Amino acid sequence: MAERSPQVLLAEGLARQGRTAPAVTACQQALRIDDRDPLVHCLLSGLMLSEGFCEQALASAARAIEIDPGCAPAYLVLGLAYDRIGGVWNRSVLVWQELAEVVPDLAVAHVQLGEALCAAAFPDEAVAAWKRALEIDPRDSRAMYDLAVAALKQEGMATALPGFRKAGELDPSQDEFFFALTGFDTDVTPAAGVGEVGPDAGERLAAAHAFAANEELFKAAELIRMVLGEHPDNVAALSLAAHLYLKQEAVNEATACALRALTLSTQTPSAVYALGVAFARRPALSDHAAKLFAALTVMAPGHAMPFVLLAETRLALQRYSAAGEAYRAALALDPGCVRALFGEAAVALAEGDFTRATWAVRRAAYHDVERSGHFWRLYDAAVEGGAQ
């Protein structure tokens, strides 16, 4: 790796802290020393885009690519800038195709390519791009949302809704919401094994939640079994058991555990959530699910997720305007909620408002890229000298 000037390192540090203005100044100083460093142009481009200066972002990204045609983060910023400007979808398509060639296993390039193709009125090619993204990363929720919206356009809500739900389940924010409801701290590093957890029920429950949050479902289940063996009426254990069953698509087992928990205590938000999710997976029980999620909006104020879940059950019930209200409530709490933005797009499509739908998808794309940190991953890889 080539030696990097202190000005470049300063610019990067400031940019990572979100201190845009001093970072721009540092970039400009770095360019006075070496105006052929593609990464500095790229960094400047990203900073300009973050402040909404699309033309400047385009110019800097183009300069970075001119110097280094393999500069992946510059393609990302260039594509995002074209998308932000809108109306130049042919250019967007070209840029995302370039990025997909430079970094072939980058799912987001194919997702963005699909959205640009869709905006350019190539729906079939768009679907192919989203499917390619899912081949690369089967857990890419945005590609799944895009496919659900495409299904809605072609075949209506009943076909699209399972796609929205599937995308929602890929989105880690739903699990995070469940663990927030439980009140257990899941940021802790879980024990290496079940044997290392203390015999106290509280310790076991805490460890079970930590294992579950880390997708170590069997270890979590083993601990829950131990807790229930001594305390069969432990509501927290029953709620987590319901969640674990849901993760394994065992809807009836989850229903049984959640109902048992709610028989013991009706004021258990995590059990209300689990039962609502279990009911929502059965179209005939959408009305039941809607009631539970409506209750959850009251039990867990300040969270966007119950409103999103409520909105999705209302979509299933063909109550589109009511679904729109719930999505808007979710977005008021979390303006960057990608799932709610795609839902808002679905409602807009159902209401015949295609402009609003397109706008919602573009906002979702912006927030998704922001949250997922693709720029910095590509940038750091480029600094290290690799393609990704």
Nearer to another protein, 76 or 237 (CB): 237
Q: Residue 290 Cβ, how far from another protein at the closest point, in Å?
A: 14
Residue 162 burial class via C-beta count within 10 angstroms: exposed 0-12, middle 13-18, buried 19 and up: middle
Nearer to another protein, 10 or 322 (CB): 322
Q: Residue 288 Cβ, how far from another protein at the closest point, in Å?
A: 7
Torsion angle in degrees (nearest 10) through CA of 67, 7, 102, 123: -100
Q: How far apart are CA 347 and CA 350, in angstroms?
A: 5
Cβ proximity of 281 and 312 under 8 Å:
no
Nearer to another protein, 136 or 256 (CB): 256
Q: Residue 267 Cβ, how far from another protein at the closest point, in Å?
A: 16
Q: Residue 245 Cβ, how far from another protein at the closest point, in Å?
A: 9
Nearer to another protein, 35 or 351 (CB): 351
Nearer to another protein, 28 or 263 (CB): 263
Q: How far apart are CA 105 and CA 112, in angstroms?
A: 13
Q: Residue 271 Cβ, how far from another protein at the closest point, in Å?
A: 10
Positions of E strands within the chain:
none
Nearer to another protein, 156 or 335 (CB): 156
Q: Which residue has the tokens 């802790």?
A: 188
Identify which of 128, 129, 120, 123 has the alpha carbon closest to the alpha carbon of residue 99.
129
Q: Which residues bind another protein (CB under 8 A)?
A: 152-159, 228-229, 232-233, 237-238, 241, 250-253, 255-263, 282-285, 288, 318-321, 349-354
Q: Residue 274 Cβ, how far from another protein at the closest point, in Å?
A: 11
Q: How far apart are CA 254 and CA 275, in angstroms?
A: 7
List of residues 6+ apart from 281 with CB closer than 8 A: 165, 251
